[in-house]
Amino acid sequence: MNILLHGINILPEFHAYIQQLIQVFEKQGQGVWVTESLYPSIRDTGSRKSISVLPEDNTGMETMDFVISIGGDGTLLDTISRVGSWEVPVLGINTGRMGFLATIAKEEIALAAQDLLAGRYALEDRSLVCLESSIPLFDGLNFGLNEFTIHKRDTSSMITVHTYIDGDYLNSYWSDGLIVSTPTGSTGYSLSCGGPLISPIARNFVITPVSPHNLNVRPIVVSDDSEITFNIEGRSEKFLVSLDSRSTPIDASVELKIKKEKFVAKLVKFPNYSFFDTLRQKLNWGYDMRN
């Protein structure tokens, strides 16, 4: 197999864990690759001679059997953007803080690698949000695992986002912005703005306003077969749109449409994984003396 490792600005205290991971794969005769952003973290290890570096343009991604994301949830989102329509399975190792997506602790690296090589895993398909726009945006990477967001660009007045579902008028949101989240992204920015938690295998989008001026405006869950379009108004000439952690300014003349992407993100999950266990642990549910 060909296994790609990806990480961004890995702290020195985690380098030994990366070396441990590489050694497990090398011992089993697997081909190990790293991205250019991860290579400085393994450059001074004894394994560097047997490791290939994937170019920044991702040439060769289609030959990978697995991609291992080393970092936090942000790194895993970046990994998904690199994998794109190749749908290479992604495993997230958590060296960050929250870890809703990257769920493997650094102490479990060796066991996770062994389970992966032995086939003791399942693949979980996660839907992606797709942006269609009247001008090219995001260098062709017009999809995201978590959410699409419209946001005011500065700290001045709010914006108005006129929103339509399959051509039918939904609402005009007077707010700082608007989020369209996938089920995976329901534990991210949407959650912090009061959006509901959605099971990752649900077939929905969540539309969540950011700091709405009208207090009776609430998030709404719609089918992910829907096409969502917008008209934006505001005193500023520019607004920000983002896909996960990538953002770019636009003006109100740009036409925007959100729908479900044709391909999915495939996340590697091991038998002891439970989404609901993760929720309880990360959100501290049940920390009550009565339990």
Q: Is 73 a catalytic residue?
A: yes
Distance (Å) of CA 138 to CA 25, 95, 181: 34, 27, 18
Q: Which of 176, 167, 90 has its CA nearest to residue 128? A: 90
Size of the chain in residues: 291
Q: Which of 21, 147, 36, 30 is nearest to 91 (CA)?
A: 21
In a 3-state reduction of DSSP, which class is residue 231? strand
- Contact criterion met (CB below 8 Å) for 240 and 152: yes
Residue 128's Cβ-side half-sphere holds a number of Cα atoms within 13 Å equal to 23
- Determine which one of 73, 115, 224, 244 is catalytic: 73
Instruction: Give me 84's structure tokens.
Output: 């794109």
Helix (H, G, I), strand (E, B) or coil at 259: strand
- The Cα 53–Cα 31 span in angstroms is 11
Residues 6 or more apart in contact with residue 77 via CB below 8 angstroms: 101, 144, 145, 146, 244, 245
Please tell me the distance from the alpha carbon of residue 78 to that of residue 89, in angstroms, as a whole number: 14
Q: Catalytic site residues? A: 73
